[in-house]
Structure 1
């Protein structure tokens, strides 16, 4: 095998030598040949001159071919250098989550409302400062509470506002509803940012502490909602096809006494509430965004209508319950069908909220038990 390769290489070299000899002989003959006469343009050409140009061209081509790998490597290195030279934009740090501090503050407010003189130790898991309460324990209770505002004052330090529906007990043990009260709590968080802390490591130890007792604050401003998009009042007449579609749909949706599909658009994917919470559903009023409340004829297929429907439902115990539903209807084959139960009633384009007029506090709120003092 090696001998065969050597013989092949030898033949290749012999062919190359013969080719270069032929070119040399052609060059010698061209040199001895008489020079060509100049053409009309004034240029003189000769065989030797043309052969020299061809030889230079061939040498240049072979040089370019031979340098191809080197040029490719240089281009690759240059491209690599450009990529390495471009600064990779740093990913934006994830904002700290308020979920942990908010939940901690809500638990703290509930414990604070129930604590009193002699039970200050119940607050130790939340606040490690010295506390002396003057109110009797268990005189106030948060029947329900929720966080309505949170703000990171500085990294890992949160201001949390908790709304609590408070019930108080007087000296005779009689319960009195004080209404919703608002408490602001300062909470420091340790641990990863996903827990409200400052550490970039998800394995960091998580913990919370309040920096003081809660501060009772004023309620947020009451607002009057913006104007809704339902300008036509359809009433509750069953002779109106759009009202009749809403009645049939909501009866099936709330009571389960009929099939829901017969009132919905194909592919709407709506399901009745199960188990059915009501035994009866009575539509008492319908408003929509049509141009005329007197329009009774169902328009062309694909026409969309938005409704706000008032419903008086009767629960399983026989008690009436008032409900509102925002529906989107679509026409098909001469009838209205419910395409969706909307997430919220539709607003007009300029439907921004405005400040509500000031209202006097509820009678029982004026008799609210003073907040317990702390020293």
Structure 2
């Protein structure tokens, strides 16, 4: 790439022409970009929906992204565009006057590069959509070190978002233009209203079933199988991350019977506090679907979307998904 030698780098700003300047890798050169693409590619195969990351709740693509065309199955372009865009953003952020070889693999644009650039970490694909023109619009997120923020507060790594347009013309991925800084997804601390209007006692038939199941699931106190519906395998987290569990609140969409008829279902919502052996604790919430069999309640689904009130969304039918992915 031919680069001008006498231009003075502009100070950092939010304008595309200056933020398009790049910087030193936090973890070193092109190797970092290749590392993140392995995990990203796995998510991309699952389709665009799997790529949207909710930051403890707020998902969606950037406001700058064009309206997407919905698709049942990810196209080859969609499957590959995310890893390509992530690599491009990483190289774009990392490049400087002394080293732009990684960036050269993505663009031949004549870019004014800085002497010292941006450090970044936690590079991920935030969303990937397809425009009506058949282009892939990918939003990549990263924590970028900002030395302009009050130094007394220590190193600052605000979350930044960058949009990349990708095309597969000629069966070869290429970028249309350069990455563009965009606003991140909007989110709020005000959650939607839940549709669980009935308070359940923990010593009720349904409450006991939920408590026994979650104790086995989170603390390893027995197996989950005795508390799940037949053919519904929901294995416990292994190794168990906690040693004790208490249910703070337990609510349901309708009041479950103490002697339910076979096949009856009810959605419940449990707020629990789990602690480990050194006193650390977390408070978590679990949407759970219960199904009745042989005069008792059993867990038929865990980790499904919560039931919302009618003012926020229609009440969904109980999900048949038997188990979430195991994690920490």
**Which of the residues 203, 206, 216 maps onto 1:242?**
206
In structure 2, relative to structure 1, the CA distance for the partners of 1:95 and 1:177 (3 Å cut) is closer
Question: 2:101 — aligned with what?
Answer: 121
Question: 2:228 — aligned with what?
Answer: 264
CA distance in 2, matches of 1:317, 1:251: 18
Q: Which runs of structure 2 are paired with 1:1-375 in the superposition (5 Å)?
A: 97-134=77-114, 136-137=116-117, 139-152=118-131, 154-155=133-134, 157-169=135-147, 174-178=154-158, 180-191=159-170, 197=171, 207-222=172-187, 226-234=192-200, 237-291=201-255, 297-315=258-276, 318-352=279-313
In structure 2, relative to structure 1, the CA distance for the partners of 1:119 and 1:170 (3 Å cut) is farther
TM-score of the superposition, structure 1-length normalised?
Answer: 0.55
Native 8 Å contact 2:166 2:176 kept in 1: yes
TM-score of the superposition, structure 2-length normalised?
Answer: 0.62
Q: Between Structure 1 and Structure 2, which shows a larger proportion of helix residues?
A: 1
Q: Secondary structure, in 3 states, of the residue corresponding to 1:238?
A: coil
Kindly tell me the number of residue pairs found equivalent between the two proteins: 238
CA distance in 2, matches of 1:95, 1:333: 47
Pair member with larger Rg:
1
Q: What RMSD, in angstroms, separates the aligned Cα atoms of the two structures? A: 3.1
CA distance in 1, matches of 2:240, 2:304: 20
Q: CA deviation at 1:181?
A: 1.9
Query: What is the CA deviation profile of residues 243-289 of structure 1, one whole-angstrom value per residue up to 9, with x for unaligned ones?
Result: 22111100101121212222222332222222222222222211111
Q: CA deviation at 1:190?
A: 3.8
Larger RCO, structure (CA 8 Å, separation 6 or more): 2
Q: Secondary structure, in 3 states, of the residue corresponding to 2:92?
A: helix
> Gaps (5+ residues) in structure 2?
1-73, 315-328
Q: Secondary structure, in 3 states, of the residue corresponding to 1:161?
A: strand
In structure 2, relative to structure 1, the CA distance for the partners of 1:135 and 1:288 (3 Å cut) is farther
Query: What is the CA deviation profile of residues 202-256 of structure 1, one whole-angstrom value per residue up to 9, with x for unaligned ones?
Result: xxxxx3232332111122343765433211233xx53222222111100101121
Native 8 Å contact 2:197 2:252 kept in 1: yes
Native 8 Å contact 1:232 1:289 kept in 2: yes
Native 8 Å contact 1:140 1:169 kept in 2: no
Q: Secondary structure, in 3 states, of the residue corresponding to 1:186?
A: strand
